[in-house]
Amino acid sequence: MDCGACAAKVRGAVERLPGVEDVDVALMAERLRLTLNESQTSPERIEKAVRGVGFGIAPKGAKPEKPKGGFVLPDGAFPGAEDTPEPEEEGPAQPEEAAAPSWHRTSKGRLVIGTGVLLATAWTSRLLFPAEFAHWAFVLATLIGLVPVARRAFAMTRAGMPFTIEMLMTIAAGGALVIGEPEEAALVVFLFAVGELLEGVSAGKARDSIRALSKLVPKTARLEVGGKTLEVPAEKLRVGQVVQVRPGDRVPCDGEVIEGTSGVDESPVTGESVPSLKEPGAEVFAGSINAEALLRVRVTKAAEDNTIARIVRLVAEAESARAPTERFIDRFSRVYMPAVVGAALLVAVAPPLAFGLEWGEWIYRALALLLIGCPCALVISVPASITSALSTGARNGLLMKGGAVIEAAARTTHVAFDKTGTLTHGKPRVTDVAALTGDADDMLSLAAGVESGASHPLGQAICAEADRRGVHAAATGGRALPGKGAEASIDGATVCVGSPRLAAERGALTDGLRSRVAALEAEGKTVVIVLRDDVPQGLVALRDEPRADAADAVAQLRGLGISSVMLTGDNARTAQAIADGLGIEHRAELMPEDKVTAIRDLTTDARVMMIGDGINDAPALAAAHVGVAMGSGTDVALETADAAILRNRVTDAAGQIRLARAAMANIRQNIAIALGLKAVFLVTTVLGITGLWIAILADTGATVLVTMNALRLLFFRPAGPAEVTAPFTDPTSDATRDSASAPT
């Protein structure tokens, strides 16, 4: 399938059959899906209809039929397809798929070579033999080259689709022979074959970017079985099995590290350039690259459900969500084709009948007009750009579910952020450690000793900070003080870590200490006080800190002319402190339903993108024009919202909008190219300035230009300049901790 017209042919062939509904033909994925009532139409009849218009069709996983590039149907489309025996579980690795044949080995390539040889032979005969012989040589070259085109044209007509490029081509070339222009006819047939070949090559390059995603996962895996290591097909791994990943190998599955510590390059999956430190308990993604040491990984997801498979599936599925612009052009082309045929007929008969002009000349102009009017370039102008944008986004950790989402994202004027887990890390961190007596580290060690083994997020944050500083005190007799804090015995003294209210109850909250607590709480921080035998030793302040790139993300959006607002259920004081630090508007103390109301208020006069964690923000994500979920490849992130940011980088919100705007600009360029060339050559053709061979060159040339222009999106960089050039120099910085990475 080379262009949107191909998809339209298949769609038209099957949607007329009884019992067929919801027909979806994906051009780039070369996939046909439909809902079928088998009591009215059998699957075999669907196959026959598709083959009848010149395409191969095969169940998913089966070898494609010729012509090359047959359709792939979902599992279960044919009852017998699932009866095929599967290879042994621990069998040898399956061979890789055969590479796509070179252009000269395809049917279209052979047609180009054949018609080219015939045309050259005819031109040679014109020089060596009498004119009459050369005339018939051109006729023969035309007929031989036109036969496969005419066969497809009449097959389409039988399927109820008379207005196709093949039919226009057949009429134009046949008409040229009738009016005595065999040289032009032969040249037109050759140029048409070249154009078809170039369209196929261009479409193949667009598909390669999607195929490259699935090739990220290795074909084989080193499976541990009974104390031995066997090499088995990665696609046969089952949940719970254990595999070894050597340094330099790609991870063959989504899994959990159970032994080993190593830096893992996740850039093939998330686009994040800094390797992530993986230790026992850490999650790894299929397709990522182990950089340093041997890892033993327990499989947590089957091959069909791993991160790469879901991304590929999402990109393929996104083709079905056609942009409003694409749907409009599709409707327009259905009216446009009959109108062009009618105009050509008018050009052929009106001047001779009304003004007595020469029939041959005006029929010639009408035939050229038919070729110029083919809408292939116009039809493919949108899906080619959308597919390239989806592929570029997937490679950069930006997933959008189809053209409708891209078009909506490009029109975004306001971005609403959830706070916790989106603009912030989602868990508290120690921001201030202040000792009233002695050393701050000693005071922190007391607090960590009391909180050792705590399940409360504040206690865990204090222990994490103590671990980072390498300080910890041994405690005994620890117990919780519900709603107030915790206490334990350290070196014979009772140490309490609790709220200012606990300190006040024990008479330890002096006026000076109270003012320091108030100052920290005014910054949106939570303060705990450390007491030893009811004597204050110091205080620890904690806050869910903004991500390192949150302020930059807000600034980038502002630079794009987009306003930002933070929606949070947190208290007004904390929200104010976070918002002021980021330079963003905020609305605080919102319940989930309040967030929906806030989004609806914004959407009355703005185009809103909502970015949240994809779980508790689901209602707000659905209410926005575009809902974007944060999360590194989680099911929620990929399925809940319209789009997902895999790298958990807030700046990717601006990157997603940049990519969407670039895609829509590319679409507008493609439409201008397609319509502009046609407008120029329609006029020159009617005026007799350009002829048949220029007409077909303009048609196929426009299709190739549109496709090649769309492929430029594959090289687009969604990241801002600062993100591309900024080095990661401090492995302990917020940015590095945020991506769970480590220096290599």
Helices (H) and strands (E) in the chain, counts: 25, 26
Euclidean distance between CA atoms 71 and 285, whole angstroms: 30
Quick one: tokens of 60?
């998913």
Euclidean distance between CA atoms 112 and 237, whole angstroms: 45
DSSP 150: H
Q: Is 37 exposed, middle or buried (0-12, 13-18, 19+ CB in 10 A)?
A: exposed
Is 418 labeled as catalytic in the residue annotation? yes
Q: Is 679 exposed, middle or buried (0-12, 13-18, 19+ CB in 10 A)?
A: exposed
* 433 close to 422: Cβ distance less than 8 angstroms: no
Euclidean distance between CA atoms 655 and 721, whole angstroms: 11
**In angstroms, how far is the first alpha carbon of the chain from the final one?**
45
Q: How far is CA 149 from the centre of its chain?
A: 36
Euclidean distance between CA atoms 355 and 222, whole angstroms: 82
DSSP-derived 3-state class of residue 488: strand
The β-bridge relationship of strands 608-612 and 626-630 is parallel
Q: How far is CA 87 from the centre of its chain?
A: 32
Quick one: tokens of 681?
């050559």
Q: 2, 16, 49: which is closest to 194 by C-alpha?
A: 2
Q: 283, 281, 294: which is closest to 243 by C-alpha?
A: 294
Q: How far is CA 282 from the centre of its chain?
A: 25
Options 418, 552, 642, 652, the catalytic residue = 418
Angle between helices 359-372 and 324-355 (to 10 degrees): 180
Q: How far is CA 433 from the centre of its chain?
A: 44
Euclidean distance between CA atoms 377 and 40, whole angstroms: 36
* 589 close to 570: Cβ distance less than 8 angstroms: yes
Q: Is 421 exposed, middle or buried (0-12, 13-18, 19+ CB in 10 A)?
A: buried
Partnered with residue 400 across adjacent β-strands are 643
Q: 530, 542, 527: which is closest to 440 by C-alpha?
A: 530
DSSP-derived 3-state class of residue 79: helix
**Tokens 């960590």 belong to residue:** 448
* 611 close to 645: Cβ distance less than 8 angstroms: yes
Q: 664, 126, 105: which is closest to 388 by C-alpha?
A: 664
Q: 166, 185, 188: which is closest to 174 by C-alpha?
A: 185
Cα dihedral value 441, 447, 450, 456, nearest 10 = -130
Question: Which residues form the catalytic set?
Answer: 418
